[in-house]
Structure 1
Amino acid sequence: MRFPRARRRLVIAVAALLATATVAVIVHRVLAPAEVSTVARADYPARATPAAGVVGRLPVAPLIVDGRLRVYAAHRQVYADRPVDGRYRTSPFWSYRRWPAELTGVVASGRTVVSRWSDGRVVALDASTGRVLWRADGPVPAETDAMVRRTGAATVWDPPGLYRAGLPDGRTLLVVTGDREARGIDLTEGRQLWRVDLPGACRSDVGTTRTGQLIGLDTCAGPAAVEFRDAATGAVQSRWRPADAPNGLVVTPLGCRTGHSDCSGLRTAGPGDAGGRGWLMGAGEPAPATALDPADTTLVDEQAVTVLDGTAVGRSARTGTERWRFGGLGPAARVLAVQPGRLHLLTEENDLVTLNPVTGAQLSRFRLNVGSDGTGWTAGAVAADDGYVAVERVRRPVDPDADDQRYFLSSEPVILVVS
């Protein structure tokens, strides 16, 4: 029995409409903005107390959180694993994913992990569970030409435009900046405290100070000047330019606790490092610190540290008085990283030597080797926090333009150690 022609046409039309509707639903489900939060199903791990030495190797860069978790960045995901001293990466303890936004930065304070996304959204997670604590709108991140490699180190170790700022009253704020805007966000509640317009490409971020200021380099009106903005209100407190400062002023933060946040010093110079000068930051204008003038000087715990001909020398950053010397490091030794209470030196043989920065006493020394990987590599990006040090291992000779497979030593290029 054949359907009449009109009925056949009706059936075909209905079938086409159903097919179109089905496709539309599928496309919406796939492409519509989405958020997936997978919370922890196990108890928050205890704080680990591992002995000094190599912990293991990882495929991605870890952010050590609360001495208990390792937090990682993926293209559209932030996730954690444990134990913090595990030899390899394990199944996620919790995970948070967004679509179609991309993850651009992660910072942590205590048990709060804050993620920033390409659409400007800022999302805080409870490190102990992975649950969302709050969501806030921020400025869209500024575009950058910096290469973000597969380890995600740039995202979790030094996220651009995402800073912590400790205030004198004990609160910790987030300062989030974009090309044309900056916002201050309360870390506890996610409440926006202020919003200010920025002038654009003629101003760039430097970092935040330990006294609660956002530092910027402003070239918009006349010679370059360093701008100090109150992190609690967003108001510009002062603009400062060193006497006889060279044209094309370059400003480098020193003594930062993490990334470019909570910094205690500055170094100003001209193009090609001409006329470099060191400064300590406090409540007023930066104070001269000649011990920080050399470009290869590191600031940690108010000590200026340099390494020359295999000997590390610690001087008071305020007075320049020599405090200690530590020799026998070898001619190619250098400062690898610093953190409160620890100065990390790397020898030519890739030995990690950790000293007390105030006394120069050795805290630990061991070779950065895991399994049969060897030490024939060069250190790439580095992060140090809470007694841990994580180092990207890069193939020799270093080719900065190479793809990730050629650039990194192996598929697990990050070595994690306890100092």
Structure 2
Amino acid sequence: MRSRGGGLLRRRPAAAAIAALLVVAAVAVIVYRVLSPAEVLTPARADYPPPVSAATGVVGTLAAAPLIVDGRLRIYATTRQVRADQPVDARTRRTPYWSYRRWPAELIGIVASGTTVVSRWSDGDLVAQDARTGRIRWRADGPPPGHGYDGRRTGASVNYTPVGLILANGRSGRTVLVVIGGSGLRALDLADGEQLWRVDIDGACRAGALTTSGGQLATVDACAAPQTVEFHDVETGDLVRRWRPEDAGPELGLVPLGCGNGASNCPGMRTTSAGTSRGWLVDGDEPVPVPLLDPTEAVLDGDVALIPSGRELVARSVRDGSELWRRTGPEMARIVAVQPGRVHLLTDAHELITLNSMTGAERSSFPLTAGDEVVPWRPGFVYAADGFVAVERLAAAAPPDAADPQFYAAPQPVILAAT
């Protein structure tokens, strides 16, 4: 196009500038969509599955560590996602039954009770979902955890030992969710997320925590000199007592015993201090010493203390110390997990033996191997629920700081068995 004077009109620079602005705008939209905070919920589209009755033996192998919920679903944790699949006895991980993803927050921990699944996130958010549908029941603000996802490839630590996320049964029958973070302690009603109480303290002063089957929250006050255990009523937050064993040193540690998942609803605990350990029952108003639980290898199932010694396993009543049964094996087998009524032993040859914890009768025994797979491994996290046992298989000689491909013994590192 020519001007009246016969010259060409200079419109190309203007057009180029407009085009450049459009490109910048498009990029900005894409960046916003990608980087802006977001969450995606994909609810269940199928009917809630029935409970399963799996045949005894190895079920299969999984890439991630499952949390079994309501005997019907397996819940998995990844850096930014909670997902469920079913049935529980599927040989491999299945297409999600439902999933929930957040960004840029990272997943910190998961707990479940009945059909309620609660996830805790790095931004402090607590999100409760209905396991039957995946839909959100409630959400609440919690004390910020101060760290991000630490579950490595399998998510085992997020599912099995969630930091600062504990369930408790109150004396009134209410289920309470206790959350511990940088700004202190907080308790919510699991049914609706209502805050029941809060204690504003420096969360860094809490070095250990568990809830007791007697309806109390026990935490170590690591900033006290000497360190003490504080017991709070889980429903009211009232400080019931400050306590420490008479012969304890200046520092204290707490080990949960006989609990539900993680450190929830524990009938017992072990205190550690100055190289010594002492066992206690905490199902009543105050700790009761139980010397049977002093050894670090001893475990608790209800009223039964299970004490291994070499090739022998002895079960005694924690109430009166009487011997309930005794088993001597042909080879060394160590206790790797306990669930109500069952104790699970693993031999050096990777044989999984399950005993009735009350009688010592053998329920099942089989090699914990998947098909013809032959790999050397050592157990990492071990989880037992609803008759199933999940074992994280770690490379035999891998150091704790090894990268995931060298840290785990197989591409599908979790082996799942029905006992």
TM-score by length of 2: 0.94
Aligned: 1:417 with 2:417: yes
Find the counterpart in structure 1 of residue 184 from structure 2: 181
1:97 aligns with 2:101: yes
Q: Give secondary structure in 1 for the equivalent of 2:369.
A: coil
Matched residues in 1 for 2:73 and 2:60: separation? 15
CA distance in 2, matches of 1:5, 1:304: 94
* Paired residue type of 1:44: Y
Report the equivalent of 2:299: 298
Question: Which residue of structure 1 aligns with residue 71 of structure 2?
Answer: 67
Q: Which residue number in structure 1 is paired with residue 84 of structure 2?
A: 80
| Residue 309 of structure 2: aligned partner | 308
Q: CA RMSD in A?
A: 1.8
Closer, same or farther in 2 for the Cα pair 1:329/1:196, shift >3 Å? Answer: farther
Deviation at 1:375, TM superposition (A): 6.2
Q: Which residue of 2 aligns with 1:157?
A: 160
Aligned to 1:284: 285
Instruction: After superposing the two structures, state which structure 1 stretch, 361-370 or 59-68, moved more.
Output: 361-370
Instruction: Work out the CA distance in 1 between the residues paired with 2:15 and 2:215.
Output: 70
**Which stretch of structure 1 is more off in the superposition, 52-61 or 238-247?**
238-247
Residue 39 in 1 paired to residue 40 in 2?
no
Q: Tell me the CA shift for residue 329 of structure 1.
A: 4.8
**Quick check: 2:226–2:249 contact (8 Å CA) kept in 1?**
no
Q: Is the 8 A contact 2:258 2:302 kept in 1?
A: yes
> What is the DSSP-based 3-state SS (H/G/I as helix, E as strand, rest coil) of the residue aligned with 1:296?
coil
Distance between the aligned counterparts of 1:93 and 1:200, measured in 2?
36
**Distance in 2, Cα, partners of 1:190 & 1:249:** 32
> Post-superposition shift, 1:13?
4.4
How big is each residue's C-alpha offset from its partner over 1:194-221, in whole Å with a ceiling of 9 and x where there is no partner? Answer: 2221233232232111122221111323
| 2:211 matches 1:208 | yes
Shift of 1:367: 1.2
Instruction: Provide the secondary structure at the position in 2 that maps to 1:406.
Output: helix
Shift in Å, 1:2: 5.5
Per-residue deviation at 1:147? Answer: 5.1
- Tell me how far apart the structure 2 counterparts of residues 59 and 369 of structure 1 sit (CA, whole Å): 15
Which 5+ residue runs of structure 1 have no aligned equivalent? Answer: none
Distance 2:401 2:303 in 1: 37
CA distance in 1, matches of 2:192, 2:203: 29
Residue pair 1:312, 1:325 contacting (<8 A) in 2 also = yes
Q: Secondary structure at the match of 1:259?
A: coil
Alignment identity in percent?
53
1:70·1:82 contact (CA, 8 Å) conserved in 2? yes
The answer (yes or no) to whether the contact 1:246–1:269 under 8 Å persists in 2 is no
CA-to-aligned-CA distance 1:356-386 (integer Å, 9 cap, x gap): 1122121111110111223632111111111
The residue identity in structure 1 corresponding to 2:165 is L
Contact 1:240 1:285 in 2 (8 A): no
Distance 2:10 2:320 in 1: 97
Q: Quote the offset at 1:10 in angstroms.
A: 4.8
1:71 CA displacement: 0.7
| Inter-CA distance 6–187: structure 2 relative to 1 (3 Å threshold) | farther
Q: How many residues in Structure 1 have an aligned counterpart in Structure 2? A: 415
Report the counterpart of residue 172 of structure 1 in structure 2.
175
Bigger CA radius of gyration = 2
- The residue that corresponds to 2:357 in the other structure is 357
Distance in 1, Cα, partners of 2:243 & 2:410 = 46
